[in-house]
Structure 1
């Protein structure tokens, strides 16, 4: 139930700060255990960055896993991917509790998942990698079931919707593109369009929710069913302690201030340090990225309060953040669209990414995290921020490029504002971009040779199942390599964007925040990006933030429900 601060009870069993996926999951698990729960969100919307995302949830060996995996194989995979960059004990806790968390959601709530037939781990080259079963996705959800709560749901990134707020997932995109090619696709696509038309008569956007909005919508529906109290636009100004234990909070909602007590503790799920002005500059790579595609609530202010009472940040990770290349464009309302380039274009045939020397610096089909990290590494010697993602006309028509949708129509606005750069030849494109013309010509010529042979001797593009899954299966001999030969030629600028914090507060296996002496700070938990990532700054598979977020939300709630006993 959504309330105003002035109407709150004096105390609750558990208070969760932050209503992203991890925080909402922690609140739901606590409610399932019979606790009276308060969920506090500082922004006007619920869902955090989860609502923007695909909500892929990486948890091995759940009831959706099927055959071909085991706890030992998953542990071996993480040992190789993460190594000593994070606690093995916490990884083991995740592997044991994750399937329990999903099983409980599936059995007791309408938070439902499925595994896709092919959804590979990102790092296929190491032992223990799998092609399917670990990455779960939420089932679509009818937002109309939320009733008056629907407007609280954070809308998706507009550039990931069509027709004024219609959400589509990867299956929908395939059907929409194949509308004229098969009756099955036509029926699916026309059903979507009819539903959306009906929605727009009553709602400001579509109510058929997929991906992150589906997960958040399902969580919100269950929280409402169980009477969890929800506050939005509410800031935490102080942690209240008695006898060394967190026993309450000082909250502010607009002009109203109020203290609220808690019997079992506070769960920090505020999204990490990413938008903290001082820590952003100190903890992210230089040059400090100007843009993030993450939701706006992760100010890091709760870290200031936690560190002041003895909490500490984790150390030894490969990186302090998770990354994706992004492109930006000013919207009609003056806001900046920050578009993350996850899988839709970089690994497709007929594309290449280059630095200012016109040279490749990365396998374009690698994970978005590794792509952006390679930008920083290359920039140390050759200007690579921004880098340039280049496609020929055939590739742009077939796959789109960033915010430019497949089909090749409607390019004029993108060309007019400079988001998309067009030229009749490769040398002319180099001149427009300020890229070394000879270097770019040599790079494109090499890519055209690789398209013929099907092998990329420089970076191995198309050499793993993960690469190929994001290519074009119809392209031969390599689904990730195609000629860059059909004029005109196009490019857009990519920047590194942080998509979430990897460094966070040190916790134990029950998500209790630990002090400098490795002792739990009574009544204080951290989950999601507030918790130091069990992945140690590596990004080994899709959904490695949401999966642990849900799992440690489950563990924190269980620990609190047991009165602080493991």
Structure 2
């Protein structure tokens, strides 16, 4: 297996800018199609936002679910997406995704180290909408042994440290469930012990755990194939410009470790740098709450600052600005640190659990806490809150954790001392600690408690869909998402709007070719991943709706660049 190359050659058939799932998928597909390919990565690590993601991949009617005895209806998925996106739906791109997604899965399983497994039960985020599915559409990469990357392992972007335990040990959804129950279940205790033993062995020879799950498994498996195919990858190589000849893109200008270079791209350039989540100016331009003065935090790598989009705009491309949301939202809390606060995303571990509510600075609830992270922030901003509080009682804190506060038996005193976690012996004392009206908070908790005992949240319907109860606690009755806040002391964490990536991107056609403002393709210029405008048009239909299209359009782009024709539509 080769290591990341040191200096780019003068020319390649295809130059891919960005080393996340979309970029590596495009590079692998094009290389297997016979092209010479190079990957350029601005950061000092490869993997992009994929490597720090949850790793879910949404592909309706995929072959893995069919192998597992499940069925899906592609038209039903289209109906679901049409309901999610409304009149913003780009039908040709949606159809290209639905037609080529299953083919992409088969292609990568046959030709690469990327292997998938389906989630038999994983409801779409709005399961009551026509065309939604209860499971099968979400894929995960099979857990991966990072030692297979050899010397390239250390250059893989590590996971978010706050989502690991014991110095870099990763946990997937099943592992988390076992760790939460390890003091109550012998089976879970054995599972946790096995992981710990593996991790202890890893730490004898590596800086972190080598059992890769979630987005790390996606990035690691793709990277193995990149290196096995001999595709050179140049780190610390930022895009500074695009070369054109007679209207066609012919190459790139880059800064390679401080040295300016020109690289010819005979068949085209692929932009897959992760959008503009870390571009403060564009955030203010496209996110109304940021313009209004709200603090906003992105979980994306700092390198995703919109460089490729700026270059594409200079080359004649344009952004789609009609999406319902500029980004894929998530609430975040801020963990204090020596280098300043760092955001922690509240995705699915805490908000849906019984005994947890969210209130604004008026002490009142404002949305369904068990809704998806995207919908939750929409509700938060729609109610006019630039920050809010997640509140729970002591039982919920020790059973489920809250934000970065882990459940029993993990200690939490340091979070109290840092100010990350607020505490009150009574509801009134907590209200004063977080500066919300005492009467309103007490009334809110009392009303919620009465509804929780009956199992029905009259105000916002927490625990009213299969997706929501899936994230609750199945052992909690009568509703997996509802329990009174009754056990002292009471706790709170402040949350802010954040994102896991931008949805606004460059307009492309169904082959991933970047279009100009007249709707014509710019020859030799492609975009995929979050540099391409999301086919979800600002909606968030289900887990994996970023990585699914990223891999699929990376595949489509690679096929188009290699064959100069659209990817084949499976029979």
TM class by shorter chain equals over 0.9
Give the alignment of 1:231-246 within 5 angstroms: 231-246=234-249
> Does the aligned pair in 2 maintain the 1:427–1:441 contact within 8 Å?
yes
Alpha-carbon offset, residue 484 of structure 1: 0.3
Indicate yes or no: 2:313 matched with 1:283.
no
Question: Which of the residues 327, 339, 346 maps onto 1:341?
Answer: 346
RMSD: 1.4
> Does the aligned pair in 2 maintain the 1:118–1:131 contact within 8 Å?
yes
1:319-362 alpha-carbon deviations (Å, 9 max, x no partner): 1111000001123x425321110110001000110001111110
Indicate yes or no: 2:302 matched with 1:296.
yes
Give the alignment of 1:371-382 within 5 angstroms: 371-379=376-384
Alpha-carbon offset, residue 454 of structure 1: 0.5
Q: Secondary structure at the match of 1:343?
A: coil
In 2: Cα distance, 1:475 partner to 1:525 partner: 49
Question: Which of the residues 343, 361, 364 maps onto 2:366?
Answer: 361
1:260-300 alpha-carbon deviations (Å, 9 max, x no partner): 11111011001112222321211113235332111211111
Q: Secondary structure at the match of 1:327?
A: strand
In 1: Cα distance, 2:409 partner to 2:431 partner: 21
Note closer, same or farther for the CA distance 1:535–1:163 as it changes in structure 2 (3 Å cut). same
The equivalent of 2:499 in structure 1 is 498
Q: Secondary structure at the match of 2:324?
A: coil
In 1: Cα distance, 2:360 partner to 2:135 partner: 34
In 2: Cα distance, 1:88 partner to 1:389 partner: 39
In 1: Cα distance, 2:180 partner to 2:403 partner: 17
The equivalent of 1:508 in structure 2 is 509
Q: Secondary structure at the match of 1:536?
A: coil
The equivalent of 1:20 in structure 2 is 20
Q: Secondary structure at the match of 1:118?
A: coil
The equivalent of 1:47 in structure 2 is 47
Alpha-carbon offset, residue 228 of structure 1: 0.5
Equivalent residues, number: 560
The equivalent of 1:37 in structure 2 is 37
Question: Which of the residues 306, 310, 315 maps onto 2:312?
Answer: 306
Alpha-carbon offset, residue 182 of structure 1: 4.2
Deviates more, 1:521-530 or 1:86-95: 86-95
Q: Secondary structure at the match of 2:260?
A: strand
Alpha-carbon offset, residue 188 of structure 1: 2.1
Deviates more, 1:231-240 or 1:255-264: 255-264
Q: Secondary structure at the match of 2:351?
A: coil
Structure 1 gap ranges (5+): none
Deviates more, 1:175-184 or 1:160-169: 175-184
In 2: Cα distance, 1:385 partner to 1:290 partner: 9
Note closer, same or farther for the CA distance 1:222–1:545 as it changes in structure 2 (3 Å cut). same
Q: Secondary structure at the match of 1:64?
A: helix
Give the alignment of 1:126-525 within 5 angstroms: 126-286=129-289, 287-331=293-337, 333-379=338-384, 384-407=385-408, 409-525=410-526
1:50-93 alpha-carbon deviations (Å, 9 max, x no partner): 11111100110111223342111111111111122130111011
> Does the aligned pair in 2 maintain the 1:280–1:288 contact within 8 Å?
no
In 2: Cα distance, 1:409 partner to 1:526 partner: 44
> Does the aligned pair in 2 maintain the 1:350–1:391 contact within 8 Å?
yes
In 2: Cα distance, 1:172 partner to 1:563 partner: 44
In 2: Cα distance, 1:483 partner to 1:288 partner: 31
In 1: Cα distance, 2:435 partner to 2:470 partner: 33
Question: TM-score, normalised to structure 2's length?
Answer: 0.96
> Does the aligned pair in 1 maintain the 2:236–2:257 contact within 8 Å?
yes
In 1: Cα distance, 2:296 partner to 2:542 partner: 26
Alpha-carbon offset, residue 413 of structure 1: 1.1
Note closer, same or farther for the CA distance 1:72–1:279 as it changes in structure 2 (3 Å cut). same
In 2: Cα distance, 1:99 partner to 1:112 partner: 13
Alpha-carbon offset, residue 2 of structure 1: 4.1
Note closer, same or farther for the CA distance 1:50–1:460 as it changes in structure 2 (3 Å cut). same
The equivalent of 1:530 in structure 2 is 531
Alpha-carbon offset, residue 28 of structure 1: 1.4
In 2: Cα distance, 1:370 partner to 1:177 partner: 26
> Does the aligned pair in 2 maintain the 1:313–1:506 contact within 8 Å?
yes
The equivalent of 1:98 in structure 2 is 101
In 1: Cα distance, 2:80 partner to 2:420 partner: 40
In 1: Cα distance, 2:527 partner to 2:294 partner: 26
Q: Secondary structure at the match of 1:405?
A: coil
Alpha-carbon offset, residue 150 of structure 1: 0.2
> Does the aligned pair in 2 maintain the 1:264–1:564 contact within 8 Å?
no
> Does the aligned pair in 2 maintain the 1:140–1:208 contact within 8 Å?
yes
In 2: Cα distance, 1:2 partner to 1:68 partner: 41
In 2: Cα distance, 1:242 partner to 1:158 partner: 45
Note closer, same or farther for the CA distance 1:115–1:564 as it changes in structure 2 (3 Å cut). closer
> Does the aligned pair in 2 maintain the 1:271–1:500 contact within 8 Å?
yes
> Does the aligned pair in 2 maintain the 1:397–1:406 contact within 8 Å?
yes
Structure 2 gap ranges (5+): none
> Does the aligned pair in 2 maintain the 1:272–1:530 contact within 8 Å?
yes
1:395-439 alpha-carbon deviations (Å, 9 max, x no partner): 000000000001164222111111000100001111111111111
> Does the aligned pair in 1 maintain the 2:122–2:134 contact within 8 Å?
yes
In 1: Cα distance, 2:132 partner to 2:308 partner: 36
1:30-49 alpha-carbon deviations (Å, 9 max, x no partner): 12212111001100111111
In 2: Cα distance, 1:310 partner to 1:516 partner: 7
In 2: Cα distance, 1:78 partner to 1:198 partner: 45
> Does the aligned pair in 2 maintain the 1:86–1:533 contact within 8 Å?
no
